[in-house]
Structure 1
């Protein structure tokens, strides 16, 4: 894909990118999953790749169980030397901290629950609490969109998100991507979501769309991903992002899974431009991302100051 000029949007912010969807292709060939050195390398290289793309602040998300080598093994059966979900989080935190220093960017992380594995969610909340001081800033729910009233697994996830809310852990939820708009409403009302991953189908409900505009709900929009996955029409001029931008909806632009989709953030900016978004609207989305980030107050203050120095006041 054609990338935007590197100096056009030279200071970027990304809120929706999956660590296991951003592994370098050569790294995939070199390593196997579920090993400390492999996970450390993936996370460290992620920082370098972000820096090369002009990303100065990023929140990367992943499910620690899927990167462990104890998948489906009960706690009591984990033998010495195994690489547990907790080990994964500690290793990723170490690598992101080093990568952030070495490549001059701020990296925080989000731990994902998986919709089809509700038995993991309690441990995810526990790990979020334990590693809050290491840059784990939020909990997410990823996988298939929930269908409220039809999904028997939803109640266990909602319990985890209530615990996250009670303990001051930020919340974002994949909703309204390929599933119905009711998933967005469920995320807001019963999972205490502060941000929505994707959320394109919110436009199917005028009342909910109006509510989200009024409440300044932040949508993590992934333009290229949304078309490739079939979440949005192939005709880019029918993409809900156009309405979001023109209606002043609170959104950011993101890549989602760049190694799988063969995109980068500059490419998503280019696609947004082809949809008719102006440079000013794209820059505003970068400021939106900074303000909606789960960064610490000090990180956010510094980030917004840096953005203002590069782009002016937005």
Structure 2
């Protein structure tokens, strides 16, 4: 039985649907964090740390979920359902098995359909709680991070794809202007091999350097881990073309300018008017008005002659 499509009946409901619809320019993306049928203690800690780093814009479900196999045909329907339910465009899914221990799947969606996927294995993991540092250095909620990708292996297909997903996952809201004081952390990703990336999270300290540019120091605050790429799925060409669509540039209108005070201004050019060569007919309204006024003046003058003061 096919469920009926519910159509919004009020303007308010239509506005809410437009907020959740895909946009040409996305400013911020929500992250959905899910647990698989079976998880390990390491993987639970990894998911908790990711949620802590994204807690201002993330949704986490702790209940175990069955029958989620994103790389198999039809196995991604549950992820798409949760993406639509929570209005999240980024997905982090953790599972643990003998064949793929400490397995982490990072995915992106477009219009709540799976766009691409990267499956990595977590090794040599250190949680945020295992690091000892001055708590004043802890990154603030909503701050913007720096990213450093070190190594020539990031030019390969697998790590290049992982780099794009990590940037989307941790960069936060897209802004045009940035205050240096609001950038207090940094993600350092080092390509150890063509399939392995060492990732660590550091706090950024700004110190005096005697110049206008401060000296920066990195203090590791965790988490840190090795990400070993196991599988990855690139987006379908048709979906990629639709997702990469950009806004069409507005056509420039000749002789039209915009002013912040007066609004839209335009110049109108008129040809020379040669009134002397135009033939005027007797049906012109202006001539009729002149005749009426002349007739009234004539009658008024006659009355004055008949009734002199």
TM-score by length of 2: 0.29
More helix by share: 1
| Larger gyration radius, structure 1 or structure 2 | 2
TM-score by length of 1: 0.29
Which structure has more RCO (C-alpha within 8 Å, separation ≥ 6)? 1
